[in-house]
Structure 1
């Protein structure tokens, strides 16, 4: 991934009435050092982020991503990002994404510098990796125990399991473990036997004529791509549902997908070595929709 653009955002008050926040942005060299030694995002992973997919220089689902960034910030006791300010930063970053093809804009909000300025925030833009083969051929996944029961997040909210935090070491370790097992990705399951999500994606199953995703409890991050896709499916007359899904339901799936903002819809072709049917027509329709401009 080649970084093309980066800017630092100075904090704006939540009630700031300005319509133009350009004077709160500072463009920096994306290839040059920018963070101080005391920055808590790197020392402790103490911050939140979002990754916005960009198609032909159009940032996708900006409102949903900004809403989720604000939700994550609230869960982490961080200042709530000023929505209009951050939206303007997204627009500025999108101008540096490929005019044709796909990119990614990252929004990062950190607790800041220990005993220093806080918070710190920045936005970056880059060209996205080519996910064409993944979308067409599919991926193989394994299930991995996430190490807690489905009720744990409700009983221990300080674990921040519903926030999109910068502490992604466990997520990356899960993907490495999946690859050690000969797969491409993983699906987290709870210790008491329920399906959760993938390390960097939401899971959608087709069970008969229904499209089902795990209910957004159990520490699941509510996926912006999954939400948009479910709205699209409902508008096409399909039945969609959020359910508490037992692990054994994976064996009954007629099709499955991992969906995310940049990879879009990746069909799952095997779970724990068991083949899953690849529905090329539905997958292609998913990705046609996800590649269309969406606000």
Structure 2
């Protein structure tokens, strides 16, 4: 059983009508050099990506992820990815780690300066063990994202709705959260509204209603959040997209960060103040999120 796997992809035109794209995939030695020094993904972070959770060889929410990859590509003026080519690449990669939890990453880059463009690859590797954090939850701090709620619509060149490779700010926010004695962060706008975590979507509960920030605020539309909403609606709960203030988060009946690999983790404190949690529902959500979808 492979523990790590890499597949280079020769992107094809989105209108290509073939059924089998296996001849566009080349398996790579994960310990060998693979990218040119002129590659824009490493020089400028100029590309987009997706991370897909895999459980016992089954990749979850594949369609939502490839559609979001295409959405990010449009925002960044990248060539449209051929969705069936990427679906087949995901299937090949997921099959290489048939047991346990794994992560498949899709990367689409603008390419190489004066060379092939775009460039693309898929990787697969075992996921970290998140069982403890799913059980115990996380303490978060709110961090200023540096812009107001309308920035995404007013300034599309900021690429706020795209999942780009430029994750330096996200990682810096996590380091700052840990410096403040917390486990994670929630970004807030200059005018006091909550957005998302650096690597997760935010869902808050008020009574029997579950609320998340509307994607129009310039955040990623979370694939796991969509799955959670479908599950909650099947249980008879109300779900909503809305504008949430920092006080809405601090006074919520419960709140979660949800993402494809870590799944659902309860927020147990906000800026040092304890927040109520629902361990039974958290466990229920994670049982659902670990099931094939």
1:3 deviation in Å? 5.7
Cα 1:3/1:122, change in 2 over 3 Å: farther
1:143 deviation in Å? 0.2
Query: Which digits, 9 at most, give the CA deviation of each residue in 1:222-269, with x for residues without a partner?
Result: 000001110111111101111101111112111110000000001110
1:13 deviation in Å? 1.4
Aligned partners of 1:36 and 1:184: how far apart in 2?
36
| TM-score w.r.t. length of structure 2 | 0.98
Q: Does 1:94 align with 2:97?
A: no
Q: Is the 8 A contact 1:149 1:218 kept in 2?
A: no
Q: Identify unmatched segments of 5+ residues in structure 1.
A: none
Q: Does 1:15 align with 2:15?
A: yes
| TM-score w.r.t. length of structure 1 | 0.98
Aligned partners of 1:160 and 1:279: how far apart in 2?
35
Aligned partners of 2:249 and 2:79: how far apart in 1?
39
Q: Identify unmatched segments of 5+ residues in structure 2.
A: none
Q: Give the equivalent residue in structure 2 for 1:107.
A: 106
Q: Give the equivalent residue in structure 1 for 2:162.
A: 163
Aligned partners of 2:44 and 2:282: how far apart in 1?
38
What number of residue pairs does the alignment pair up?
292
Q: Is the 8 A contact 2:13 2:80 kept in 1?
A: no
1:17 deviation in Å? 1.2
Q: Give the equivalent residue in structure 2 for 1:231.
A: 230
Q: Does 1:175 align with 2:174?
A: yes
Aligned partners of 1:207 and 1:238: how far apart in 2?
11
1:32 deviation in Å? 1.4
Q: Give the equivalent residue in structure 2 for 1:60.
A: 60
Q: Give the equivalent residue in structure 1 for 2:189.
A: 190
Aligned partners of 1:240 and 1:191: how far apart in 2?
26
1:95 deviation in Å? 1.1
Aligned partners of 1:66 and 1:3: how far apart in 2?
23
Q: Is the 8 A contact 1:3 1:30 kept in 2?
A: no
Aligned partners of 1:91 and 1:195: how far apart in 2?
35
Q: Is the 8 A contact 2:251 2:275 kept in 1?
A: no
* Secondary structure of the structure 2 residue equivalent to 1:72: helix
* Secondary structure of the structure 2 residue equivalent to 1:249: helix
Q: Does 1:253 align with 2:252?
A: yes
